[in-house]
Amino acid sequence: MKCVAKTQAQLSARTDCAVIGVYDKAELTKDGKALDKTLKGRLSRIVASGDFAGSIGDTLLIPDVGTGPVARVLLVGLGTRASWNLRAYRRAALAAMQALLKCAARDACVYLSTESVEGVDAYYRARLLTQALAQASYRIPSLKSGRKPAPPALTQITLVAHTPAELGAVQTGIAHGEAIGTGSALTRDLANLPANVCTPTYLATTAKSMARTHRSIRTTVLAEPALKRLGMGSFLSVTRGTAEPARLIVMEYRGGKKGAAPTALVGKGVTFDTGGISLKDPGGMDEMKFDMTGAAAVFGTIKALAAIKAPINVVGIVPACENMPGSRATKPGDIVTSMSGLTIEVLNTDAEGRLILCDALTYSRRFKPTAVIDIATLTGACVVALGQHVSGMMSNDDTLAQNLLSAGRRSADPCWQLPLSEEYQEQLKSNFADMANVAGRDGGAITAGCFLWKFTQGLKWAHLDIAGSAYVTGANKGSTGRPVALLVDYLLSAKP
């Protein structure tokens, strides 16, 4: 599907559908009033009749507006003026795109991109609309038998620039939104695939395929013998109970100056997590295929950067494995040695994400990164603390933390900072090793972050716990594609 940008002065050709916003109390937007005048008051009569209240996210398709510049009009509720903000804009954008894809229009002209939102410029309005189109268009990889659903009739969307001066910003917003949408779709595809398809080997093959597609990406895959030589005893302890071999996947995106230090993204890639010997409850265990969404987000972010041709260097590091029970599996009470040399008493084998991430964080040092961000569905405690709406974030650097918070707000992919302090690290003490891998129930998301903190001395580091935001459960179960939008936004705006 093609997205283009035009100014209002360029809109002369007839369109199949015009998308117009309506505020509460039957208030048409400025563009809506202009179109209403052309349509001889038809829109104002409809909203004045009470048939469309303008509640946020409501839609009403008017299929035949007679002769004139448009064949159809899609009204989209914007809510009250007082509540109109970035969150409302994103809801309205998604509702509009979902409704457009259901109608028979072949092309559409979307005027929501001209509606001012506090703190958001024309670039972000266009980017968020394009991302909403990608989100609405996404379909889970189907392994069902039978006929595939017919594609939507819509083939082109025009986003309107308020003034000629904004046209370039809207065009850039479209390009970046399409790239983020493509990256998020890859993230969702990988996470939604069943664990008997999306194995560590499958992830490695996907990374190699990305390198063949994009000359800016170089992929290296390390197998278990190489991991043993590197001393990654913590990572390898997780994979002892499975027949699926572990892989360390390294994707180097080289869009910046040659030799310039990269930002490192480290993604948890547990393609299925039974909990190991500390076996999980059966209920909901099928959702543990999503335990590699941190890795999937790294894949999606690298793909988006390559599509944008971002002028930066980024390295994505993915420790990929399964966590299964078996006769050789790591047992509670076992002590393993990490790549850093620190020894770890494994008190709970279901706290495996930190065991693979700590070695990957140590490995990232060889790239001398400007900053390291790890992304992981790390703790159920984070879901309890923050729910599904925001990702948890911890950092040892205030500037990095603030930049991630700002990127989350701009991209409508928010995170919330949790504390780090020595008091929490005290809970990780062990009588038998340098540290334990768990610290009890209280503050579980924070102590998990503190565990990783131990391996980042001298690094500018942040941790994103996406256990709540990475996927939804219930009837609409599936990956959300987060936090690709947050990461891309941060990387595009970050200063070395």
474-380-180-366 Cα dihedral, nearest 10 degrees: -150
Distance CA 463, CA 354 (A): 11
Residue 247 bears catalytic tag: no
> Contact at 8 Å (CB) between 49 and 87?
no
Q: How far is CA 287 from CA 201, 273, 293, 347, 483, in A?
A: 20, 9, 11, 23, 18
Encoded amino acid at 190, one letter? L
> Contact at 8 Å (CB) between 313 and 253?
yes
Structure tokens at 247: 């892989």
In a 10 Å sphere around its CB, with 0-12 CB exposed, 13-18 middle and 19+ buried, how is residue 284 labelled? Answer: exposed
Beta bridge partners of 327: none
* Residue 58 φ/ψ region, left for φ over 0, alpha for ψ in the -120 to 50 degree band, beta for the rest: beta
Encoded amino acid at 253, one letter? Y
Catalytic position from the list 354, 410, 454, 482? 354
Q: How far is CA 266 from CA 144, 320, 372, 380, in A?
A: 33, 11, 7, 20
Structure tokens at 425: 């690290």
Structure tokens at 251: 């994707």
Residue 454 bears catalytic tag: no
Distance CA 353, CA 376 (A): 7
> Contact at 8 Å (CB) between 466 and 375?
yes
Query: At CA 66, angle to CA 107 and CA 54, rounded to 5?
Result: 70
Between strands 343-346 and 435-436, the pairing is parallel
The rounded radius of gyration (Å) of the Cα atoms in the chain is 24
Catalytic position from the list 280, 365, 409, 477? 280
Q: How far is CA 23 from CA 8, 18, 58, in A?
A: 21, 16, 11
Q: How many residues does the chain have?
A: 496
- Residue positions annotated with a catalytic role: 280, 354
